[in-house]
Structure formats: C-alpha cells, structure tokens
Structure 1
Amino acid sequence: MGHDIYGVNKEGKEIAYARFSMGNYNATILYSLLEADKYYAGVSGSGDWSTFSIQQIEKALNEYKQLYKNGDTQNWDLKQILDFIQNCLATAKKEESVKVYFG
C-alpha cells in the first residue's frame, strides 16, 4: 500500500509521478496543495481521477513556494512534490489542463 500519484497528458501518457509509502505523512502535502483532500484514503489514494486547470496548478505551485521557499532539495519528498507540480504545470500550459490519478 502507498500513494502512487500520476499526472497524465491528454493522450494518457505519464508526465508526472509521486510515490509515498502508506505511513509517509508528506503525501498529505501534495493532496493539500492540489486541494484534493477528498482523494486521500489514508494508506493510499482513493483510486480516482481529477482534472486540474492551469490556474489550479499555478495556485498549488505558488502555495508550495510560499510554504517551502522553493523547497529543500535535500528533502526527497519536497523535491518530488515540486517536480510533480512543475511537470503538471508544463503539461497544463500546453494542453489547458492535466489529469491526475490518486492511487
């Protein structure tokens, strides 16, 4: 069990990935930044998809930067969260949205 969170483009190709073990509380940071707490199911994600707009992903990135000042790159979880959001934003800017799976 654990949290496997995927970002995909319109073709269904994976463009972002974040992995947290079931006991890793840092998973909640990503759910919170994406305002996707309803997809948090404790030891894993709910198994549902959600589509995010450019504005939603930009908001998540801005909140991340305010909270973590671009992140401690020595902290693996904060780095993977930043990478995930940035990759989703790049796709959303090209395609106007990005789809995320919370598993």
Structure 2
Amino acid sequence: MLFQVRMDVHIPLDMPVEQVNEIKVVEKAYSQDLQRQGKWRHIWRITGQYSNISIFDVESNEELHNILQGLPLYPYMNIKVMAMNRHPSSIREDDS
C-alpha cells in the first residue's frame, strides 16, 4: 500500500539544543533504516519549511501508523496521510 505523508515539525523553542540534536540523530538513523528496507520509498524536503513529503510502501494502515509513531520527532509533528492508488490512465505498470 502506498501512502503520501506530509510531516510538519514543530520543535519547542525552549527545548535544549543538545536534546534536539540527540533526537535528530536517532530520527535520521530510524528513517534511513526504513528507507533501506524499502518501506520509506521517497523523502523530499519542502523548501523554506521544517517539513517533508514522503512516500511509504507498507502492508497496512496499522504498519504505517506504527512506523510514524516510532519517529523520535513524532511528538512534535503534525502529520497528514493520503492513501494512494494506481491511476487507470498511468502508462507504467510499476512505481518508476
């Protein structure tokens, strides 16, 4: 199942810089592991914002939910999820 996910990050301004940097290191490792597994297919930064648009390829809504809740920055995110289906007019048989 393919999902488009927009993540907008809002880290509290009073959070200590050391704590923020620690969370970011763990977040990067977590997201890159999911990318290597093929579950986090694409990630794009939104210019000028602390936000991204990502494409996930997972088995179920529950799997995506669990992945997103596992993000170390999850408590500081607003997340919007959109399920995606192949369009019947697409000329491609795959996601390339």
The reply to whether TM is greater than 0.5 is no
The structure whose residues are more often helix, as a share, is 1
Q: RCO greater where, 1 or 2, for CA within 8 Å and sep 6 or more?
A: 2
